[in-house]
Amino acid sequence: MLKNMKIRFKYSLIILVSIPTIFFYYGCQKVINVDLNDAAPRIVIEGMITDRPGPYTVTISKSGSYFEQPVLPAVSGAIVIISDDLGTIDSLREIKPGMYVTSVIRGKSGRTYTLKVISENNEYTGSSVMHSHVNIDSLGLRKSESQHFDLDGNDQNEVHIELHCFFNDPAEKNYYRIKTYINDSIQADNYRLYDDQYTNGYLTELRVAHAEARHSYRIELLSLDEKTFLYYRTLEDLIFSNPIFGSTPANPDSNLSNGALGYFGAAAISSRSLNVTSSMINNVR
């Protein structure tokens, strides 16, 4: 279906093939034919400008059908240009098939960035505004309790130590993505998106991970514009939905024109790290 983050998800135009699927019900069996139709590949563009030093990367590939291998074919020879609202123009250089890097453009809060891709006589565009840089003030540990019942009807409290992130949300509309690294590895299951609808202009506290002793944690707070946030929101829905019992899968919303899949976004990123020790865990009240 998709590809994103460190885990790669295959982009597929969601379709159905004639595949016999067998379900067993009390010794009886019923054959259900699901019709899946193959579809033509579409271009997949993924790029992000941040307020950290470049170069920044744009990757271009082709979507696969339901039956293709997970590796998506790279798109080489494209013309890729990123510009900002001050008139800076950067023609990206292809460093390996399907991977294009910047050399001039620099990310800065308040700027609007526009991507243009020309490939196989088709033009694709997308734009994104870089929102304010929001600093993580601190990381802290919190104790939480959850209750569960065993088969005998006895209730028990389970105590958890959670890692929380604190920051002052600016008095403006903001959208965030929180990325959690544990021992320098990105945690796909700690995917967090946050809309400041109820905390606009206030000190904000978010739970970002379960905390364990002798683990190091690095939290990144990405300030996004609405279009990029909606791309990640629909991506999140696809990752955590059940395609068997839920609605028909689809590709996530894109801010790119002309039917391209993927996204082009701008993000201001702050980060903070914490090494959790046994003493810290034991002293949480």
pLDDT of residue 212: 92
pLDDT of residue 233: 87
Question: What is the phi-psi region of residue 156: left when phi exceeds 0, alpha when psi lies from -120 to 50, beta otherwise?
Answer: beta
pLDDT band at 151 (very low <50, low <70, confident <90, very high): low
Task: Indicate the CATH number for domain 136-223+271-282.
Answer: 2.60.40
145 or 233, greater pLDDT: 233
Listed residue (91, 96, 102) closest to 54, CA to CA: 102
Residues of the chain with CATH 2.60.40: 136-223+271-282
pLDDT of residue 154 exceeding 90: no
**CA atoms of 199 and 171, how far apart (whole Å):** 9
Average pLDDT over residues 231-240: 77
pLDDT of residue 198: 87
Average pLDDT over residues 100-127: 96
Cα distances from 232 to residues 181, 263, 277, in angstroms, run 18, 9, 33
232 in Cβ contact with 9 (< 8 Å): no
pLDDT of residue 197: 87
61 in Cβ contact with 109 (< 8 Å): no
Look up the pTM and report it: 0.76
Q: Which of 15-24, 124-133, 185-194 is predicted least confidently?
A: 15-24
Cα distances from 39 to residues 11, 250, 255, in angstroms, run 12, 13, 22
Q: Name residue 158's beta-bridge partners.
A: 146
**CA atoms of 10 and 19, how far apart (whole Å):** 20
Q: What is the overall mean pLDDT for the chain?
A: 81
pLDDT of residue 101: 98
Alpha-helical runs (H) found in the chain: 226-240, 278-282
Percent of the chain with pLDDT over 90: 58
pLDDT band at 187 (very low <50, low <70, confident <90, very high): confident
Percent of the chain with pLDDT over 70: 73
Q: pLDDT tens for residues 11-68?
A: 444 333 333 333 333 344 444 443 444 457 889 999 999 999 999 999 999 986 544 5
pLDDT of residue 39: 59
Q: pLDDT tens for residues 191-211?
A: 689 998 888 889 999 999 999
55 in Cβ contact with 103 (< 8 Å): yes
Average pLDDT over residues 88-94: 97
